[in-house]
Amino acid sequence: MIIETIFIFIFGLIVGSFLNCVIWRIGKKQSFLKGRSYCPSCKHTLYWNDLIPLFSFVFLKGKCRYCQKKISFQYPLVELVVGALFVFIYNYFQVSLLTTGLGFNFYQALFYCAIASVFTIIFIYDLKHYLIPDEFTFCGLILIIIWLLFNYFQGIFSGNDLLQYFYSALGSCAFFFCLWFFSQGRAMGFGDVKLAFILGLLLGWPNIIVGLFISFLFGAIIGLILVAGKKRKLKSAVPFGPFLVIGCFLAIFYGSNFINWYLSLSFGG
């Protein structure tokens, strides 16, 4: 089990390194499917020993081997977070190829690792550029549709279940569309409207309520901290995509716990 966990973590580091490449290349309007990696500062081609996830950053002391310019902490941080997420998902679904094989839990873990990868890109890209590119949203949408259909054909979801997820998506999308429309884009970007649709499709009812509540709660807290620290003004734009991603992940894994806790408070039991 320990060996499998280490393997999953290393695999997550590799995926995180690839996601960093995707984020950088898309931001520069370049293809991430071809071309050698290079230093953003001196443009020197990077070789295999410059690209070992996490370890190259530590070995090079956070600097480019060729120009000595500092490497952004985004790179090791994303690698670490993705590695940790993969291990968390692996353990959450109690997957072990040695004991459970390719059972349903394996496919659950595989799906949520894929979604975690897409949402990591959305989180970082929106944080850096205040924009959620459609290709990332569309990729998430396709993954979720495939997963819902897989559950349907496996007999886990009924037709009514699929409709419930679809209505959840429409409801969350409509709510964000109203925020975007009536604020004329000041309160919310249209990318958030599209992201809300796929979150509703992923979480379903009532977990989408939990996800949105956590998103707005985190957004309000961070916003107040930034204003208090004079990092932002009250009217300054703050990307909301990262908060939606955080709320979504917490709702996926802890939504039921939150709902049960709330009901116990409301009804005394």
DSSP 8-state secondary structure symbol assigned to residue 100: T
Q: What is the pLDDT of residues 97-147, one digit of tens each?
A: 666 567 888 899 999 999 999 999 999 999 888 889 898 999 999 999 999
pLDDT score at 236: 56
Instruction: Give the best-scoring range by mean pLDDT among 183-187, 213-217, 265-269.
Output: 213-217
Q: How many angstroms separate the Cα of 146 from the Cα of each of 115, 139, 143?
A: 12, 11, 5
Judged against a pLDDT cut of 60, whether residue 166 lies above it is answered with yes
What's the CA gap between 72 and 68, in Å, rounded?
12
Q: What is the pLDDT of residues 47-70, one digit of tens each?
A: 878 788 888 888 888 888 888 888
Closest CA to 38 of 52, 26, 55, 50: 50
Quick one: how far is CA 252 from the chain centroid? 12
Would you call the peptide bond into 239 cis, given omega within 30 degrees of 0 as the criterion?
no
Query: Rounded to two decimals, what is the model's pTM?
Result: 0.88
Judged against a pLDDT cut of 80, whether residue 232 lies above it is answered with no
Q: What is the pLDDT of residues 10-31, one digit of tens each?
A: 999 999 999 998 998 888 777 7
Q: Is 45 helix (H, G, I), strand (E, B) or coil?
A: strand
Q: Is 36 helix (H, G, I), strand (E, B) or coil?
A: coil
pLDDT score at 98: 64
Domain ranges across the chain: 1-129, 132-269
